[in-house]
Structure 1
Amino acid sequence: MTTTENDINAAGVPAPGIRPRPVVDRLPRYTAGKPPVAIDGLQSYKLSSNENPFPPLPSVLEAISAHPNVNRYPDPLSTALRTELAAFLDVPAEDIVTGGGSLGALNQLLATFAGQNEDGVPDEVIYPWRSFEAYPISVGLAGARDVQVPLRADGHHDLDAMAAAVTGRTKMVLLCTPNNPTGPVLTRDGVESFLAKVPEDVIVVIDEAYEDFVRDPEAVDGVDIYRRHPNVVVLRTFSKGAGLAGLRVGYSISHPHLTQYLRVTAVPFAVSQIAEQAAIASLRHHSEIVERIQELVAERTRVVAGLKELGWEIPQAEGNFVWLNLGENTPEFAALAEQQALSVRAFGTEGVRVSIGEPEANTRFLALCATYTKGPRLS
């Protein structure tokens, strides 16, 4: 047997012929937002990861420092957090299953309900595209077949097309509201109409990672929908509004006929005791967090107004980001932003997502847009 250069590892030792599952070679690679480059004379700002630019509240930091016992395993059920969430959301604690961020909660759902069956035929999972870039990775790793339904030209879900895509193999549908990276929300009436077209044995997941920033009065409230539909699961997270992205704490809400299986497949100890206490403190000081979120919403309003004044057309922005439909000009704009010490999230030649950050960062972003002559259009 011969050894090629690719079979030699960094230590110069021949690597065995170990290969991953075939699906791994077919999966897209998740691309995290890059940090900004250092530019002399300019403060750098990261606008590429939809992070909350504010640190956790002082009371949350106190709660973190008060629990140094990281040598002990956390409560695998996150009982204290679920109890607090139950009171906060007015839902039964047994309907809540925690996970490592909302993505961790989604992976639990997929591992439990969607994959390859004993007959070798995979289940189907439908989701809009473009949407959260982890969706195809998570669906593929679960062993299911993904069915991507293109967004409408205005960045909204095409719910009619998604309903038409449902087959006898469909196990789950993912709805992302506000949609990441384009920004629009689903409406209450739109989701109700969609659910009326979907069989009750198909799980419909309402991913509300950015729900804290939504101000549209017609926007769907996932918790309200879950109360009336036994096949609906809601995903939420403390990463965005509460600013706990680095602690990885999220959760799903669904009825007991679903949670009974989710607890079987849940990753043990996925939420650390530090993350749990930080989330509890965030709930207990929710009014202070809302004040910070409102500052970001006000900045979002300013940015959107500034872009419209320039004649730029962007989709509805209900998250903590805006979407620039720049098409083939995407790499050029991202490079210009980098020269201004701003990191933004470029998606190939589709467009650029720009997070709402510190006021100074947002002002510099608008100044860049004012000098750019190839502003986006919705279609």
Structure 2
Amino acid sequence: MVKQRERVEQLPTYIQGKSIPGAIKLSSNENPYPPLESVAQVVRDQAGSIQLYPDMGAVAIRARIAERFEVRPEEVAVGAGSVEVANQLISAAAGEGDEVVFAWRSFEAYPILVQIAGATPVAVPLTADDRHDLPAMAAAITERTRLVLVCNPNNPTGAGVSTAELDEFMKAVPSDVLVVVDEAYVHFNNDPESADGIDFFRRYENVAVLHTFSKAYGLAGLRIGYAIAREQVADNLRKVAVPFGVSALAQQAAIASLDAEAELDERVQVLVAERARMTEELRRLGWPVLDSLGNFVWIRTGERTSEIDVALRESAVIARAYGTDGIRISVGSPEMNDRFLAAIAPVAPISAD
């Protein structure tokens, strides 16, 4: 047998949201609507030159992102989705003997990416109401800590981090530790008290921000995300990135999406309204659902998680079950959401106690 890294052999496999023929899929936080015609046309036009390598420097899309957020192109790095950019951030900052701090439960890829880099994941439990415990995360920082991940809104719980909370946290973080504010779901975040990652990037030298085109923009299948970070950090992200990792189709579709933000925001508002409707209906049925700031809702189902997941599947509804923690349900179209609500209505709810 050939030799392989023992640490890799022991890694859990990242599990994609399941899809079953004939069932509605509410397990991957995907945008349920097809691409805008203006974006789809750009992809069709670009398809005629797929025999050519993409621009490895992603100059045009980086310039457009920089213009959108009033930063310098040198402060923008791209990758195949925000998860790949998160991998760049971790790989550039941490290695053997280093630590990366994050909340748990949060994005499933975090501990996997940290271990791939050879570093040690430090998972800090969420609060009782499924929010980041920032004081505990600050206390978990040691001399070995190289990076902290703050998922806002948090996936899968939907809870946000306020400006005041993140400000207090930043005061406790050493200036040489990079804090990454992962805002994959920022477009659905309508809480005026929520921390704004770009604002924190402007105010703190050790903050980087992660965004993606997969969710609100609906480009999940093309794979493009980006980080906004200080030039030294962004340069290092480009050094550890996979060469030619972002296709020309993705780069051009992202530019077209930024040009069509107003039209895309109309879809976002529909999803936010549907999120509110799902939350209200679940509460009416007796489920203890917290407010969510993402394009999903979260139910802490504990030991009944598997039972409830099976019941939904029997009604041809696929959600995302997390061990014995809970179930995350993506917000789909109104028709898809009606199917989910009809499927869960006969299930006895979890007690709020």
TM exceeding 0.5 = yes
Deviates more, 1:359-368 or 1:128-137: 359-368
Which residue of the partner structure matches residue 6 of structure 1?
Answer: none
> 1:300, 1:18 → 2: CA distance?
49
Q: Is the 8 A contact 1:49 1:345 kept in 2?
A: yes
- Decide which of 28, 37, 41 is 1:62's aligned counterpart: 41
> 1:167, 1:304 → 2: CA distance?
39
Which residue of the partner structure matches residue 305 of structure 2?
Answer: 330
Can you list the C-alpha shifts for 1:8-37, whole angstroms capped at 9, x where unaligned? xxxxxxxxx114211113322211110034
Structure with bigger gyration radius:
1
The answer to whether 1:357 aligns with 2:332 is: yes
For residues 93 and 376 of structure 1, do their structure 2 counterparts lie closer, same or farther at Cα, with a shift above 3 Å needed? farther
- Decide which of 85, 88, 102 is 1:108's aligned counterpart: 88
Distance apart, 1:55 and its partner CA: 1.1
Provide the aligned length of Structure 1 versus Structure 2: 352
Which letter maps to 2:322? Answer: F
> 1:149, 1:101 → 2: CA distance?
25
Which residue of the partner structure matches residue 69 of structure 2?
Answer: 89
Work out the percentage of aligned pairs sharing the same amino acid. Answer: 49
Which letter maps to 2:137? Answer: M
| Cα-Cα RMSD | 1.1
**Counterparts of residues 100-249 of structure 1 (less than 5 Å):** 100-116=80-96, 122-249=97-224
> 1:328, 1:264 → 2: CA distance?
44
> 1:195, 1:142 → 2: CA distance?
25
SS where residue 245 of structure 1 aligns? coil
- Decide which of 30, 34, 44 is 1:51's aligned counterpart: 30
Which residue of the partner structure matches residue 12 of structure 1?
Answer: none
Deviates more, 1:161-170 or 1:249-258: 249-258
Which residue of the partner structure matches residue 6 of structure 2?
Answer: 22
Deviates more, 1:83-92 or 1:231-240: 83-92
Unaligned segments of structure 1, at least 5 residues: 1-16, 39-43, 117-121
Which residue of the partner structure matches residue 76 of structure 1?
Answer: 56
- Decide which of 17, 38, 41 is 1:33's aligned counterpart: 17
Q: TM-score, normalised by structure 2?
A: 0.97
- Decide which of 269, 287, 307 is 2:244's aligned counterpart: 269
SS where residue 32 of structure 2 aligns? coil
> 2:81, 2:145 → 1: CA distance?
25
Can you list the C-alpha shifts for 1:153-192, whole angstroms capped at 9, x where unaligned? 1110000000000000000000001111111011111111
Deviates more, 1:239-248 or 1:303-312: 303-312
The answer to whether 1:306 aligns with 2:290 is: no
Which residue of the partner structure matches residue 314 of structure 2?
Answer: 339
> 1:376, 1:233 → 2: CA distance?
39
> 1:262, 1:356 → 2: CA distance?
32
Q: Is the 8 A contact 2:98 2:146 kept in 1?
A: yes
Q: Is the 8 A contact 2:30 2:220 kept in 1?
A: yes
Which residue of the partner structure matches residue 10 of structure 1?
Answer: none
Deviates more, 1:362-371 or 1:248-257: 362-371
Unaligned segments of structure 2, at least 5 residues: none
Q: Is the 8 A contact 1:329 1:374 kept in 2?
A: no
SS where residue 262 of structure 1 aligns? helix
Distance apart, 1:327 and its partner CA: 0.7
Q: Is the 8 A contact 1:326 1:376 kept in 2?
A: no
Distance apart, 1:264 and its partner CA: 1.9
| 4+ long deviations beyond 3 Å | none
